[in-house]
Amino acid sequence: MKESSSVHRARPAALALAAGLLLGGVAPAVADTHDAPAHDIAVMVESMTLEEKIGQMTWTHVYGSSAHDTSMAASNQARYGVDTPAEVVQKYNLGGVLYFAWSGNTNNPEQIAGLSNSLQDAALAEEGPGIPLAVTIDQEGGLVARVGPPATQLPGNMALGATFDTDLAQAQGEILGAELQAMGVNVNFAPVVDLNSNPDNPVIGIRSMGEDTDAVSELGAAQINGMQQYIGATAKHFPGHGDTETDSHYGLPVVTYDRATLDDHLQPFQAAIDAGVDMIMTAHIIVEAIDPNLPGTLSPDVLTGLLRQEMGFDGIITTDALDMAAMTDHWSQSEMSVMAIQAGSDILLNSPDVDASIAGVQEAVANGAISEERIDESVTRILEWKAERGVLEDPYTDPGAVDSIVGNADHLNTAATIANRSITLLRNEDRALPLDVDSDTVLVVGAGSAWPERLGPMLADRGFDVIEEYDNGSSPSPAYRERAVAAASGADAVVFTSYNASSNAAQQQMVAALAATGTPVIVVAARNPYDINVFADADAVLNSYGYNVVNYGAVVRAIAGDINPSGALPVDVPTVDGSQTLLPIGYGRHYPGPPDHAGPPEHSGAPDHAGPPDHAGPDN
């Protein structure tokens, strides 16, 4: 806890305004502090204790669905030594909180709005830091989305990348920003601007918008422009996590490419900086071209030398979560916290031991390893951001506005348009697609991790006669393969959902066995877009870049011929041995006739489609 409450009785004007807001949620009219004079922030920083300053730099998750929820007290006790989310905020004078589904924070939009408001109450209470919170989340869309329906489910970044459309990218950013703002979130740790240049990347993949530097730069900047109409955006993971073969959640990746290659990975971050992105998140990876010894999160050469000085970023730098194995396997909590600040980070995100983190930084200041002036730099930057974003003026959201904003018809329509425009037809031998809804019987099978049981009923709803055979797991068992082959004789076509099949022999064997029956096999590559390189026997291959309902809705429309696939590969697809390029960035086939860019069948008015690089295959 703080040393005394005197700081709260002598708050500067902007802070006093924040403390005077209605504790129930919606604030009364107050003066505009977006252009608050810089000396106000200086007075705020000067009035704070060292412990309170470190608290502003500490952003972490809390367990519970409201500020005073005790249902997850055991989890809060185990990590923080207190019972409730409010007590976590107040114990550490937190500058920010981070929402997850698994920590009980994101049950539904109305509950999230209530949690946000109640946590702001806790921060502004006499026992709290007296400064409104940054309320943060990882809502990238697609694979990483902490808030589920009725919030708008977006097809994901690689699906967006397959449209090559900056208007849609901006629209995606606007949806994320507007819906999160309605839920009281003021920072999104998105977009991912990593280039997924390594097909074996286990952690980025379809979270990336692609591999082309110019396309990812333009799409990323457009997303940021859209999102920052409402809340702060974060470009991640600096200086680029897209060429790794290790997931930093489980180990410490090292990339060995040269500076010229690194410059390609830096280009989307430079575009984000030029677009005015509020924050940049570090990557727990060693980039040997800059610092062969320390990961970016802990490297002064990466964060200060490269990001601040060379690239000119003057916004907020946040670490990636410090409880990931790339950090915890190599450094103690106090070591990593001190090193991250020394490197140039402003925020210590999701420390696994907040007590040790704060104690370590306090000791480093006491022994001169970190100057208090260095702490003040970060706290000033954080508070200036809170002033500029209006968080100091009014951190609350209106719960009554949630229903009209979150998951509204316009947002859902845009998500469906992105999905429709993303579907990428890579092969269509003998015009296997589209199928005839009125006459074709379809067998739906696939890797369990690709959720074929989600796709089958959707095809049935569209009017197909559907035979369903499902099994669990990424690797289809021999028994499942036998059942599927037997069922294929009663079908006019087989739809097989694959999931990173390039590295899965069982999926490859199942597709080969199905093709040997003579029944046309249509593969829907539901995760990373490289699966065609092991499916030479498939009659048709569609990439959906995701297996959520919004992705599969577009797959159904493409299979039925309701839309003409118009997506194009946002990455190069290598041959299976990696020695050559099988299909280049921009490749995509279409049904005879012009590709359909009109969006969902029942709607119109989709943004204009500028098109990918000119590598499209012939109509067939």
Indicate which residues carry an active-site annotation: 249, 320
Alpha-carbon span 121 to 105, nearest angstrom = 16
Query: What is the 3 state secondary structure string of 13-62?
Result: HHHHHHHCCCCCCCCCCCCCCCCCCHHHHHHHHHHCCHHHHHHHCEEEEC
> Which of 295, 261, 262 minimizes the C-alpha distance to 281?
295
Contact by Cβ (8 Å): 300, 343: yes
Contact by Cβ (8 Å): 258, 289: yes
Sign of CA dihedral 447, 453, 454, 455: positive
Alpha-carbon span 401 to 61, nearest angstrom = 25
Alpha-carbon span 331 to 525, nearest angstrom = 39
> Which of 68, 412, 25 minimizes the C-alpha distance to 182?
25
> Which of 150, 160, 146 minimizes the C-alpha distance to 193?
160
Alpha-carbon span 397 to 501, nearest angstrom = 44
> Which of 453, 498, 502 minimizes the C-alpha distance to 476?
498
Q: Is the peptide bond before 239 cis (omega within 30 degrees of 0)?
A: yes
Query: DSSP class of residue 309?
Result: I
Alpha-carbon span 70 to 72, nearest angstrom = 5
SS3 state at 87:
helix
> Which of 552, 606, 560, 562 minimizes the C-alpha distance to 153?
552
Question: What are the residue ranges of helices labelled H in 183-254?
Answer: 213-227
Beta-carbon contacts of residue 369 (< 8 Å; ≥ 6 apart) = 338, 342
Residue type, 566: S
Q: How many CA atoms lie within 13 A of 118 on its CB side?
A: 19
Beta-carbon contacts of residue 39 (< 8 Å; ≥ 6 apart) = none
Alpha-carbon span 240 to 253, nearest angstrom = 11
Long-range contacts, 435-438 (Cβ 8 Å, 24+): 435/464, 435/492, 435/493, 435/522, 435/559, 435/560, 435/561, 437/462, 437/463, 437/464, 437/560, 437/561, 438/463
- Please report, for residues 32, 198, 380, 412, 535, the alpha-carbon distance to residue 315 in angstroms, rounded to integers and kept in the order given: 22, 29, 11, 32, 46
Q: What's the chain's length in residues? A: 620
Alpha-carbon span 271 to 273, nearest angstrom = 5
Residue 279 pairs in a beta bridge with 234, 316
